[in-house]
């Protein structure tokens, strides 16, 4: 029996890897052909194609400029692709999005260009990060004491059962952020002592290159790691603070990401401390090709006071508004626009896992909860908690990953309870269907207030939930590269959708059955208590 188990583990891992790669490959958005400055502005690549929203347009335009023009600045034709989210600094057109993701995805562009699919290649890099995140969720959950099959199910839940799926197939920063976060956690829970800190500081500080709000999101990891540098002991009711010299030396590694951050921003904006989001933004171009700023357009409309207010400049703290907190909390958790309750209710089972996790590993559980709390708090106060036009709450993708770890604990605890597993499967099937719908169609879902305002213009009902995605799919619409390039002549978009969803649900059902059948034969592993020593 032990020999069979030893053989089963690597075989299962390979099959898991092949399956997840296949589903991601079937879902990555894209169109055939290498874009040029002329085609970048075409509907083929923009509204009707994969560059449907500002983040994709801005980041892909920067990749294009880096590879084709060898510059961090946009030429005028490329700049016109990016408006109305275009920056202007020292007489040059620049990106309003953090440069890190574009730099990371650039190798995918180069490889894809060789096969005449440079845009697809760029997007595929993010899919690789998403795959790595599913594997890290498995690794962290198992290390903390969860069952192996339960941990793999948790990885699938995150990857295909949350809105993270819709952002794994396009060019957003979220999966890069999650990768750095999960890898930091994995290093801290797997390895004791000071040595992991040499890598953790690189990951924590390096996260700023991917997305500036990561400064707040990674604070709990930084504080947790500091506990190893300055451990506190309680000896005879006296608190003793120690200092690990090697821990202090480990801080030297932050020079690597800090140097990279300063260099990237120096060449991008002319100032190593200039943040992308605080750059003056161009909304349009005048007839002579000169930039038109938002304040210029407001003055033309007679709104002089608003224009003068804008001239005071942007600040990083200005993106946060505490008065938004309650509304943002409602929006992210329960609303039909972006809420977890509507888009990915399978994560509700994590609440059970949190309890059992806290009993076994209180310190690590507290870290994970602190990260979730920070994530929700930051983006509930964000100036635009909707995330613009978006599918689900894209800002909570880090929380989806961490909550999935707790789902593994729930499945581990109740792996012999048929009713609980059936409930999980039902919630998972619904969540997978919704998330796959978003992945195969579009993230271009307006907030409710904007959808209602569009109705008098469009003359039809404007959906602001995943019903908009279903409407798109029902019109035989899908932005999947594989469907557009190879599949649309053989199957409809709906049939393609059901094939992908059905495959995921069948695989998860098989895992659930295996988990249930082995529950009584395979008692809880003694490794489950391993986390108590973390």
- Tokens linked to 58: 């801005």
| 263: three-class secondary structure by DSSP | helix
pLDDT at 534: 34
Query: How many residues are listed for the chain in this entry?
Result: 534
- Asked whether residue 459 is domain-assigned, the answer is no
Q: Could you list the residue range(s) of the whole structural domain that residue 14 is in?
A: 2-279+314-445+497-533
- Tokens linked to 39: 């085609």
- How many structural domains does the chain have? 1
- Asked whether residue 74 is domain-assigned, the answer is yes
- Asked whether residue 477 is domain-assigned, the answer is no
Q: CB of 137 within 8 A of CB of 182?
A: yes
The Cα–Cα gap between 118 and 65 comes to 13
pLDDT at 476: 94
Tokens 């923009």 locate to: 46
DSSP 42: S
∠ at Cα 154 (189, 379), nearest 5°?
80
Question: pLDDT by residue (tens digit) across 382-412?
Answer: 888 899 999 999 999 999 999 999 999 999 9
The alpha carbons of the chain give a radius of gyration, in whole angstroms, of 24
Question: pLDDT by residue (tens digit) across 54-65?
Answer: 889 999 999 999
pLDDT at 271: 87
DSSP 525: P
- Asked whether residue 188 is domain-assigned, the answer is yes
pLDDT at 97: 87
The Cα–Cα gap between 265 and 384 comes to 24
Tokens 């990106």 locate to: 95
| 180: three-class secondary structure by DSSP | helix
Q: Using 50 as the pLDDT threshold, list the residues of the chain that sit under it.
A: 311, 524-534
pLDDT at 206: 93
- Asked whether residue 517 is domain-assigned, the answer is yes
pLDDT at 472: 95
- Asked whether residue 302 is domain-assigned, the answer is no
> Distances from the Cα of 417 to the Cαs of 155, 379, 428, 466, in angstroms?
21, 37, 16, 32
- Asked whether residue 254 is domain-assigned, the answer is yes
- Asked whether residue 454 is domain-assigned, the answer is no
């Amino acid at each position: 029996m032990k020999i069979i188990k030893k053989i089963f583990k690597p075989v299962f891992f390979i099959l898991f890897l092949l399956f997840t790669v296949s589903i991601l490959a079937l879902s990555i958005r894209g169109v055939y052909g290498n874009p040029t400055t002329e085609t970048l502005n075409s509907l083929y690549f923009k509204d009707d194609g994969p560059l449907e929203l500002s983040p994709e347009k801005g980041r892909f335009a920067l990749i294009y400029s880096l590879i084709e023009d060898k510059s961090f600045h946009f030429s005028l034709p490329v700049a016109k692709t990016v408006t109305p989210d275009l920056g202007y600094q020292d007489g040059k057109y620049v990106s309003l999005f953090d440069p890190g993701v574009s730099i990371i995805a650039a190798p995918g562009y180069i490889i894809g260009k060789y096969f005449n699919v440079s845009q697809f290649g760029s997007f595929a890099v993010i899919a690789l990060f998403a795959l790595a995140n599913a594997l890290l969720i498995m690794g962290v959950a198992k290390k903390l004491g969860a069952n192996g099959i339960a941990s793999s199910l948790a990885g699938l839940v995150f990857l295909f059962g949350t809105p993270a799926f819709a952002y794994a197939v396009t060019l957003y920063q979220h999966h890069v952020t999650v990768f750095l976060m999960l890898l930091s956690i994995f290093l801290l829970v797997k390895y004791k002592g000071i040595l992991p800190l040499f890598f953790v500081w690189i990951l924590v500080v390096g996260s700023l290159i991917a997305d500036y709000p990561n400064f707040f999101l990674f604070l709990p990891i930084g504080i947790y790691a500091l506990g190893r540098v300055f451990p506190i002991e309680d000896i005879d009711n006296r608190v003793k603070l120690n200092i690990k010299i090697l821990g202090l030396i480990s801080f030297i590694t932050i020079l690597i990401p800090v140097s990279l951050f300063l260099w990237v921003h120096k060449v991008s904006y002319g100032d190593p401390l200039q943040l992308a989001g605080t750059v003056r933004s161009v909304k349009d171009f005048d007839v002579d090709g000169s930039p038109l700023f938002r304040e210029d357009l407001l003055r033309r409309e007679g709104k002089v006071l608003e224009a003068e207010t804008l001239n005071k400049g942007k600040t990083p703290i200005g993106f946060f508004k505490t008065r938004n907190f309650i509304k943002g909390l409602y929006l992210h958790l329960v609303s039909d626009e972006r809420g977890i309750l509507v888009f990915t209710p399978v994560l509700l089972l994590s609440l059970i896992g949190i309890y059992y996790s806290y009993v076994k590993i209180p310190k690590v559980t507290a870290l994970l909860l602190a990260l979730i709390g920070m994530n929700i708090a930051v983006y509930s106060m964000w100036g635009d908690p909707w995330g613009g036009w978006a599918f689900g709450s894209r800002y909570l993708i880090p929380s989806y990953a961490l909550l999935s770890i707790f789902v593994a604990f729930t499945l581990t605890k109740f792996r012999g309870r048929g009713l609980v597993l059936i409930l999980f499967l039902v919630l998972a099937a619904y969540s997978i269907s919704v998330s796959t719908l978003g992945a195969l169609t579009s993230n271009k879902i307006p907030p409710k207030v904007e959808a209602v305002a569009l109705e008098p213009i469009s003359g039809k009902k404007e959906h602001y939930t995943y019903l908009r995605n279903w409407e798109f799919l029902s019109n035989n619409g899908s932005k999947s590269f594989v469907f557009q390039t190879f599949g649309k002549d053989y199957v409809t978009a709906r049939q393609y959708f059901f094939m992908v969803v059905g495959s995921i649900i069948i695989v998860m059902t098989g895992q659930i059955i295996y988990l249930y059948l082995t529950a009584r034969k395979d008692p809880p592993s003694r490794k489950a208590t391993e986390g108590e020593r973390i």
